Amino acid sequence: MQLPTQGAYVIIGAGVHGLSTAWHLAKELKARGRGSGEDIIVLDKTGVAAGASGIACGVIRNNYFQPAMRQLMAHSVSVWESDAEAFAYHPVGYMQISPEVMHADVVQIYKEQQAIGYPSTLVEGEHECREYMRNIFDDWQAENITSILHEHRGGYANNKASIRALAAKAQAEGVRIHTGVRVTGLSLQDGAVKAVETDQGTVRCEHLVVAVGPWIRDIWKMLDLPQKITVKGPDGELYHDREMWTYWSLQEGVLGVEPSFLADNEGEMPSVIHVDTDAPLYDENGELITDELWGIYYKPDFYFNGVQGGATPYIVDQPADEVAVDPYGPESPDFVVGEDFARMWTSALAHCHKRFEGKGHLFSREPSGGIGCFTPDSFPVFDVFRQNAYVIADSNHGYKMIGVGALVARELLDESQELLEPFRFSRYETGKLHPTSNSPFPWS
């Protein structure tokens, strides 16, 4: 299909945000009598679900310490639920299992979930938590757990299937998706983006939407935006020369057992499980791995053909310019399954469930994980730059936030969305940053 020479809306990226925006924008244009899906062009240098969205572990949760993230995720969960079959969505729920250092944070999350009508159960006390978990898994043995927040919505979805469903929905509305098209530059005139330059020609546009996941740094440069910024902390102190983009390696893997190996006491598939604890972690030889706060998440997953999950990420110890040119290319460090991670994650599974003892050798060596591109405060930026370039920089929160596209679509039609207000770029200048939790994960 020949690349068009112009479109009212050009969207870069055929992942969750780009396709969700295209789908919802097409519906909004039609409903308002202001155009159709044919006014929307989606460009991707590889293909639908070829990047971060297509290898996401697929967890969908509301569990955030930050109120703005909780409200945004409640909205996105509703979008997942709107067509669970097409999105390959499994609403099994989500469990946050935590030590005393996180107890107050978890209680606050629970109270605020109740305030917005998001159903969850809070369990407090070490004995009560152990009993609650053993009613689900009779071999539960994790230590130093004093709170459990069991979300009854959320769960997980199949990564590629859900993104392909978004593409199909967008195309059904007339959206034109062009893959194998690499963006090489942007034509700026009078402070606005007039055209998108590609290796297959130039596409003039009235509005640009940037939804490129970990490739955001490259388009940010094309927009001639700053690579380093000043951030005002909550205490009013100014922090100069903060990198706008930082890359983290996401540690994920699969244990090669039947997914049913993690069935609950009733023989059913359990909720997605996230465990944080400060109990000492030992490997199968009795050697100490860590005596500091650690965390893992896991779930039985037929799409990954095993028990799949991950642990806390780490900052890539290389200059960003050398790392993220192609975060999902074959030379990328995300395709190296680290021995340290394999040892830690399988030992952590055994710490939580007796059934995993002696199973570390079943860890899959297949590529997993990825490279995430994080903002200075590790939370998304949704904002307009250069007058008509709407940037969706998800800071690695992307896949689960399928509903962001619906909100962005309305903003593209001049209808400001309250749920997106806390994620404007201006927060770095004003110091209106999102609160930080005691979790070992940068995105919680």
DSSP letters along 210-247, please? Answer: E--GGGHHHHHHHTT--SEEEEE-TTS-EEEEEES-EE
CB atoms within 10 A of CB 182: 12
Q: Are 205 and 195 in contact (CB under 8 A)?
A: yes
Give the pLDDT band of residue 333 (cuts 50, 70, 90). very low
Q: List domains and CATH numbers for the chain.
A: 1-90+156-226+377-424 (3.50.50.60), 94-152+246-374 (3.30.9.10)
Q: Are 133 and 114 in contact (CB under 8 A)?
A: no
Q: Three-state SS for 322?
A: helix
Closest CA to 158 of 214, 77, 257, 86: 86
User: Quick one: pLDDT at residue 365?
Assistant: 67
Tokens coding 169: 């929905």
Tell me the pLDDT tens digit for each residue of 35-89. 999 999 999 999 999 998 988 889 999 988 888 999 999 999 999 999 999 999 9
Give the pLDDT band of residue 322 (cuts 50, 70, 90). very low
pLDDT of residue 325 exceeding 60: no
Torsion region of 102: left, alpha or beta (phi above 0 gives left; psi -120 to 50 gives alpha): alpha
Closest CA to 16 of 70, 68, 79: 79
Mean pLDDT, the chain, integer: 92
Q: Are 146 and 99 in contact (CB under 8 A)?
A: yes
Residue 133 or 63, more confident = 133
Average pLDDT over residues 239-253: 90
Which of the given ranges, 108-112, 138-142, 233-237, 302-306, has the highest pLDDT on average? 138-142
DSSP letters along 335-366, please? Answer: G---HHHHHHHHHHHHHHBGGGTT-GGGB--S
Average pLDDT over residues 111-127: 96
Alpha carbons 346 and 401: distance in angstroms, whole number: 28
Taken as a whole, the chain contains a residue count of 444
Average pLDDT over residues 378-400: 95
User: Quick one: pLDDT at residue 338?
Assistant: 67
Tokens coding 174: 């007339």
What amino acid is encoded at 203 in this protein?
V
Average pLDDT over residues 85-97: 97
Angle at 205 between CA 204 and CA 208, to 5 degrees: 130
The 8-class DSSP code of residue 401 comes to -
Q: Residue 242 pairs with which residues in a beta bridge?
A: 229
Q: Are 402 and 156 in contact (CB under 8 A)?
A: no
Beta strands across the sheet bearing 272-277: 120-124, 147-151, 94-98, 272-277, 294-301, 306-311, 252-255
Tokens coding 334: 């995300």
Alpha carbons 352 and 341: distance in angstroms, whole number: 16
Give the pLDDT band of residue 330 (cuts 50, 70, 90). very low
User: Quick one: pLDDT at residue 335?
Assistant: 43
Alpha carbons 63 and 45: distance in angstroms, whole number: 33
Average pLDDT over residues 281-288: 96
Place of tokens 């003892």: 357
pLDDT of residue 320 exceeding 60: no
